[in-house]
Amino acid sequence: MSALTTVNWLRQHPVARRHPLKAWGRWIYWQVRQRFTARPKLMKGPNETRLWIYPHEGLTGFWYSILPDYAEMSFLANYLRPGDVFYDVGSNAGGYAVYAAGLGCRVVAFEPVPLSFVRLRENVEVNRPSCSIEPVNLALGSQSGSLEMTSAFGTGNHVVAGGQTEGLVVVEATTLDEFVRSSVSPGFLKIDVEGYELEVLSGASEVLASPALQGLLLETFRPHNWQQPMLRQMETILSGHGFKPYHYDFASNTILPLEREDEGENNTFYFRDPVAIQSRLAESGESASRLIRE
């Protein structure tokens, strides 16, 4: 994100609104610090987790606000339970993976780009043995084989369809179905793969059909992409397995169906049993509430 984009994002963030001096102080500190050193900083996260934050890389939002995706992470704090299996597809340096593991989940984190995988491994190691995270150096797609990806854009690294020839890495790929056949089925699935979500879902028909899977969180930019064929195909696949799009209202701890095609946020939840989801949210205890307030 550009500095202006970051400022606008932080200005609207619930944590910055609640603790403005702390949030803006952390932002100013980081702007100054990264001008003088490329060394990472080890920060304390929720539930005694820790994250290595590198200048100009993908986890600075955690440093500024603790919970960068506030609504999404509030949902996870209220919904996930110790022992749940959480798959983080497109884990990057492991922000979501560490967060879910801090909630007691067994986490499988997929990251194909070599440098990002090094960062993921660092964050896995610094949280051992209290957090259960299996880092997997694979891309997920519609078939097994190999893919060409960019490697110099941090959280923006993506699969290359053609045209770009410099700064690429070849990564090994498999399908989610093939991986799960020799592993444990996910109960919750987060996918953020910079436009490659359709291919991941296309290789996950068995996982999507499994009753073990209760929900998904996908980066969709739904209000902007609702007319795009890719998003429509994604939602057709999900709908075929009973998954419909929802919004989470963190103030009321309630999920709300997205009735119109152009509704939603950058990330979208998909559930097939909203009654069960809402029931579990209602059972969340004071520990989740404290976590969200931090």
Give the model's pLDDT for residue 156: 62
- Do residues 15 and 70 lie in contact, with contact meaning Cβ atoms separated by under 8 Å? yes
Give the model's pLDDT for residue 22: 92
Give the model's pLDDT for residue 116: 92
Give the model's pLDDT for residue 165: 60
Give the model's pLDDT for residue 4: 83
Residue 246, strand partner residues: 257, 269
Nearest to 77 by CA among 48, 104, 53: 104
Indicate the CATH number for domain 69-293: 3.40.50.150
Residue 40 to residues 26, 30, 55, 67, 126: CA-CA distances in angstroms? 15, 11, 7, 19, 13
- Do residues 255 and 247 lie in contact, with contact meaning Cβ atoms separated by under 8 Å? yes
What's the whole-number mean pLDDT along residues 198-216?
Answer: 97
What's the whole-number mean pLDDT along residues 12-34?
Answer: 93
Residues in contact with 121: Cβ distance below 8 Å, sequence separation at least 6, in sequence order = 135
- Do residues 177 and 202 lie in contact, with contact meaning Cβ atoms separated by under 8 Å? no
- Do residues 194 and 134 lie in contact, with contact meaning Cβ atoms separated by under 8 Å? no
Nearest to 140 by CA among 105, 177, 181: 177
Q: What ranges do the domains of the chain cover?
A: 1-68, 69-293
pLDDT tens-digit series, residues 245-276? 999 999 999 999 999 999 999 999 999 999 99
pLDDT tens-digit series, residues 54-78? 998 889 999 999 999 999 999 999 9
Q: Is the pLDDT assigned to residue 235 strictly greater than 80?
A: yes
Phi, psi torsion values for 124, nearest 5 degrees: -65, -45
Give the model's pLDDT for residue 182: 96
Give the model's pLDDT for residue 145: 92
Burial of 96 (0-12, 13-18, 19+ CB in 10 A): buried
CA distance 145 to 139: 9
Angle formed by the axes of helices 274-282 and 70-79, nearest 10°: 80
